[in-house]
A and B are shown apart, each in its own frame.
Chain A
């Protein structure tokens, strides 16, 4: 069964500082991996996804993530955080379409940005 762990419930960074949000997954085959962002009371916006190929994935809003199979990790990074990045971030793992591709989400990391 798939599972996702986001070890950090809250993270606070200063505006302009770099950011790394951690994600560890458990899945028996090659996973499909995703990062989503959610602002309060809103739906989820897809930041980036990894299906195969290059393990460094570029997303929207200046985010990137690196897939490390040996560590079962898919950490999200941004070199310089903006105040508008304050939100909750969810990592998710999915199977391929032939297995129904449901997404299993982590519990989320709330990002606070201080000026």
Chain B
């Protein structure tokens, strides 16, 4: 049973560029959440997708956007990258109220 997968593993971008991160949920899960984890901190909730709609959003600017596809996979897009966007981006999938399962993350470095 494949768990949550994310791609790419690492990414280096320049300030002002745009980036797309991808996530495939655990088999049978229909909800995808995205989190940002800065160095030395706990993960911060960005947003959650269910039935291809953004259901809930954390305190992140509109530069952060997402999408969920009919197969439940998801993308996180970040526009106009800032140095402060450097972080580990974690995707988590879930089914109803059964706990969120995390992928290995994408390490984004903005230079």
- Which residues does A use to contact B, with CB under 8 Å? 4, 32, 34, 36, 41-46, 49, 51, 90, 92, 94, 96-97, 99-108
Contacts and interface: CB of A to CB of B under 8 A. Distances in A.
Given A43-B105, A100-B56, A49 B99 contact: yes
Contact of A42 (B58, B92, B105): B105
Nearest to A98: B97
12 contacts: A4-B42, A34-B100, A36-B102, A43-B90, A51-B97, A90-B42, A90-B43, A94-B100, A99-B56, A103-B35, A103-B43, A105-B42
Nearest to B44: A105
Contacts, number: 61
A100 B55 contact: yes
Interface size of B as a range: 20 to 34
Contacts of A96: 97
Contacts of A51: 97
A100 B34 CA distance: 13
B105 A102 contact: no
Contacts of B92: 44, 103
Given A90-B42, A108-B42, A103 B100 contact: yes
Contacts of A108: 41-42
B48 interface: yes
A4 B58 CA distance: 16
A58 B96 CA distance: 21
A49 B92 CA distance: 15
B45 A97 contact: no
Nearest to B103: A43
Given A46-B100, A97-B96, A101-B100, 6 more contacts: A43-B4, A43-B90, A46-B99, A101-B48, A102-B33, A103-B35
A36 B99 CA distance: 11
B48 A100 contact: yes
Contacts of B100: 34, 46, 94, 101, 103
A45 B42 contact: no
B42 A107 contact: yes
A61 to B, nearest CB: 16
A44 B45 contact: no
